[in-house]
Amino acid sequence: MKKKTLWLTQTAMLIALLLVLQSVTKGGGQYVTGSCVNAVLAVAALVAGIGSAAVVALVSPFAAFLLGIGPQLLPIVPAIALGNLVYVAVLWVITKRHKLMSTRGVIAWLTASVCKFLTLYLVVVQLLCRILTLKEQQIATFTAMFSWPQLVTALVGGGAALLVASALRSSHNVGWV
């Protein structure tokens, strides 16, 4: 029972942090909001584990949609969730219980960032922009949003998360897994 309570508490705290950051940075643009969101996703994967990280990764784009952040086209939202899931899964698989401030941590951070970028680029730009009935301006906007800015925000957020997660993992007074 204690483990389930800890998982639920961690996941709820991460979702609350995510919602606050999405709301507060809403006017800051893709680079600010995206970097903050990726930092929360990465901390979830690196500290709370894959279960919490997956829930946060799935909630994030739907919350952003409801808050009016990012693309207001519902078919794009599950693609963003997929990109988030890829990001947290790669981070978690490569690092698991290993030291974060190490070569392995850096490899996980870089690999997860590239995988998220590729997932979003392939699914949104190369697939959805071709099969959905979109105007040229929408295609141009989605192409701009789901190309290299995704790599930048994943790198910035993941880099910040490595520092935060490393500190959280080393703290014995914090009930994180």
> What is the span of the domain harbouring residue 23?
2-170
Give the pair of three-digit tokens for residue 35.
């970097």
Rounded-to-integer distance, Cα 22 and Cα 46, Å: 20
Rounded-to-integer distance, Cα 150 and Cα 31, Å: 8
Q: pTM of this prediction? A: 0.92
Average confidence (pLDDT) per 10 residues, the chain, 177 residues: 88 96 91 97 94 97 91 94 98 84 88 98 97 94 96 97 84 51
Angle at 176 between CA 171 and CA 177, to 5 degrees: 110
Residue 175: inside a domain = no
pLDDT for the residue 85: 98
Report the largest interatomic distance among the alpha carbons of the chain, rounded to a whole angstrom: 54
CATH number for 29: 1.10.1760.20
Of 72, 52, 50, give the one whose Cα is nearest residue 62: 72
